[in-house]
Amino acid sequence: MEYTNLGRTGLSVSRLCLGTMNFGPLTTEEDSFAIMDKALELGINFFDTANVYGWKKGEGVTEQIIGRWFEQGGGRREKTVLATKVYGGMGDWPNQNRLSALHIRQAAEASLKRLKTDYIDLYQFHHIDRTTPWEEIWQACEVLVQQGKVLYVGSSNFAGWHIAQAQEIAKSRHFMGLISEQSKYSLLDRMIELEVIPACESYGLGVIPWSPLAGGILGGVFGSDEGSRRRNERSQDVIKKHERALRKWETLCTKLGEQPADVALAWMLANKTITAPIIGPRTMDQLTNSLRALEVKMTPDLLKKIDAIFPGPGGTAPEAYAW
């Protein structure tokens, strides 16, 4: 396994992040335990979850599964860099969602209880809250950090200007602020190259891409049983819209002798701002197969061919659309 620092911190994390969103809804607790054990065995020390995962409001199903896994001991908690999130609705009562100081405090305490731990390594804002001032958000986070219940704070689904605003106010409070941004990013979704990635580079945030395979579509949708399954289950509109590019993509990967999913992850890992794409395995095979991405080498020629298939927004703003 390869490791890197998370953003501008001294925290060392694996280049692949284990996403746990499937734990509970699609993967049994027994299989989830086995996948997490295997991840540690493979050297993956970075796990991502959220209080809303499990999709039963207020229950934190996935966090509970992880908590029971930690409870087995064996150094599981100590070996894991644990990331969870706050923002989503955890009840129908006022103040049980978003980023008010009250909800941040209550949500953090509830996550700690479900996860059966006394600290969260990376506490992420799942979405921007346009109704709560940053002074309030940072004050709540400062208290959690002072109490030792949260070590680092990150964002998810932020625009570039949100990151800049958050960091400037954190700086004025002599607080470290954000150290990572978790964004939707893949060869089919490259919009964050305009402003989010440049903002992260400027402020020293690591980027943790979610859905790096575009919901599995970049893992191959033509000419295999697995691809047929994805084609049946995934968005037909997306596949239809990008069919020409996807066929070129799969032909390129076949010529390389590599699986499309591995090449897609390797392309992402070649970007120095990317800390660790989130892989969300439902099965053990999906977990173990993902490690091949660390061995696929991106040459300048290969990167050029991939850009020709999936050109992205044309670079960073404003040059991508102006001059």
Supply the residues annotated as catalytic. 53
N- to C-terminal Cα separation, the chain:
41
Rounded (to 5) percent helix, strand, coil in the chain: 45, 15, 40
Handedness of CA 316, 213, 232, 20 (dihedral sign): negative
Identify the DSSP state of 184: B
Please give the C-alpha separations between residue 234 and each of 26, 43, 84, 213, 229, in angstroms, as whole numbers: 15, 31, 26, 12, 8
Residue 182 CA to residue 86 CA, distance in Å, equals: 13
Are 61 and 20 in contact by the 8 Å Cβ rule? The answer is no
Side-chain-side CA neighbours of 3 within 13 Å: the count stands at 11
DSSP string, 60-94: -HHHHHHHHHHTT-TTHHHH-EEEEEE-S--SSST
| Ramachandran angles phi, psi of 11, nearest 5° | -75, 125
Burial class from Cβ neighbours inside 10 Å (0-12, 13-18, 19+) for residue 147 reads: exposed
Please give the C-alpha separations between residue 225 and each of 220, 232, 238, 287, in angstroms, as whole numbers: 10, 11, 19, 19
Are 104 and 160 in contact by the 8 Å Cβ rule? The answer is no
Strand-pairing partners, residue 5, are: 12
Handedness of CA 264, 269, 272, 277 (dihedral sign): positive
